[in-house]
A and B are shown apart, each in its own frame.
Chain A
Amino acid sequence: MGSCCYGAFSASSHLSVTDFSRGFKSPKLPCLSKRQERWFARPQGAPKISAYYGLRTPPYKLDALEPHMSRRTLETHWGGHHRNYVEGLNKQLEKNQLLYGCTLDELVKVTYNNGNPSPEFNNAAQVWNHDFFWESMQPGGGSMPILGVLQQIEKDFGSFTNFREKFVEAALTLFGSGWVWLVLKREERRLAVIKTSNAICPLVWDDIPIISLDMWEHAYYLDYKNDKGKYVNVFMNHLVSWNVAMARMARAEAFVNLGEPKIPIA
């Protein structure tokens, strides 16, 4: 499932669910098979191949999240920061053909290199993180999850209120730049709230993210200046997409045996 491409059609990172189908074993293996690598060792004069990723647009118009997240923020955050990460990644990939043939998820894990990240990690992870973040929100979002997601949250946190408190607390106690996540931990088979620094995402520990919140200052400064608390509460009340969370959980259930309760697809 490579993402090499040659023309104007851009391969972009994955959809609203992360790609677990590869059963990723060792992050040290390059993404190409031996046969593919031989094919890459072309003779001189052969046309140069480049693979690149494209900038995915959020699944809503840039002003659709007003007044909770302004069009100006989306334009700068998505059109500036996110775009720079994509372009930076593509420039780095031009020089490093070993990384061809990966999906974006695989690229993040390979470049993380078990805690000793290569230079491409920052760009790859931030592209992935931002794709995931835009999809974690929707116009008219917020309020509460329903059905299986709610049941799982109540099982793992006691109540939705408790989960919300933990999520907000994590966001407000993050030092520096980073992200807050609701993840499904594979080993422990339960949901958890975690915070990560800079570009790190739970994919590198093979956990399954369900929802994320960008706590880098650029995500909220234009709208809320230094009022982080307001930003986080607005996200929980008006922006977070529990629909997407439900879809992600449903998919995750195929890989993690949660036992009861079942997560029905609404």
Chain B
Amino acid sequence: MALRSVLSRKGLGLGFAQLRGLQTFSLPDLPYAYGALEPAISGEIMQLHHQKHHQAYITNYNKALEQLQDAVAKGDSAAVVKLQSAIKFNGGGHINHSIFWKNLTPVHEGGGEPPKGSLGWAIDTHFGSLETLVQKINSEAAALQGSGWVWLGLDKELKKLVVETTANQDPLVTKGPNLVPLLGIDVWEHAYYLQYKNVRPDYLKNIWKVINWHYANEVYEKESE
């Protein structure tokens, strides 16, 4: 069942606790201080984003899972189906943001350093150059209407890199069951509004200075085996 695979997935730092046999989730710590990504992303945004938005997704995800457990136990199919959108939204929010925190890192810890290793080579092969990739991602992100994410992903079956967008909190896997996220950029307005207001392109230009290519390379190498 999809739920079980999500719960057993390692490497995402999903904290969980036992409660009535249902595993619940808790907010993962950031591997850096809130202000460490300045001036690309302000400390105020990082704190709100982590402590309020991500926490809210986790709280509502846990609540929906509890309700789902009840509905399944009672055999209440209508309730089970009705809860799917809340699970997709809040669970997706939790998954996406957990990846996002790892996609960022302070400059003094390698933020913004171009990818070396096999990912760097794959990017040059599939997109021509890192600059081309960044341009493609930025133009798709700027054109995204409403709320969503833009991803650099690996298609495990076709063994190629892809750039995809997802709406709201849909995880990358909703665009293709073989897609693995390497890098995600949150283009919900809460991710940049306090600092960049409506000028999303400025946010997109600056975020590359704190992107953690090292982590993306790690994921790429692991998933390419």
Contact = CB atoms under 8 A, between A and B. Distances in A.
Interface stretch (A4-12, A62-70, A76-84): A76-84
Contact of B198 (A84, A122, A197, A226): A84
Size category, B interface: 20 to 34
B168 A175 contact: yes
Contact of B190 (A76, A80, A175, A226): A226
B198 A218 contact: yes
A117 to B, nearest CB: 10
B147 A222 contact: no
A216 B52 contact: no
Interface string A189-213: 0000000011100000000000000
B189 A176 contact: no
Contacts of A178: 146
B194 interface: yes
A178 B89 CA distance: 15
Contact of A226 (B52, B145, B147): B52
Given A81-B198, A226-B48, A177 B193 contact: no
B146 A177 contact: yes
Contacts of B175: none
A44 to B, nearest CB: 34
Contacts of B52: 225-226
A217 B193 contact: yes
Contacts of A40: none
A177 B89 CA distance: 13
Interface of B: 48, 52-53, 56, 85, 89, 145-148, 167-169, 188-190, 193-194, 197-199
Given A199-B146, A216-B146, 12 more contacts: A76-B197, A84-B198, A175-B168, A176-B146, A176-B167, A176-B168, A177-B146, A217-B188, A218-B198, A221-B190, A222-B197, A225-B52
26 contacts: A76-B197, A80-B199, A122-B145, A175-B85, A175-B168, A176-B146, A176-B148, A176-B167, A176-B168, A176-B169, A177-B146, A177-B147, A177-B189, A199-B145, A216-B189, A217-B147, A217-B188, A218-B197, A221-B189, A222-B193, A222-B194, A222-B197, A225-B48, A225-B52, A226-B48, A226-B53
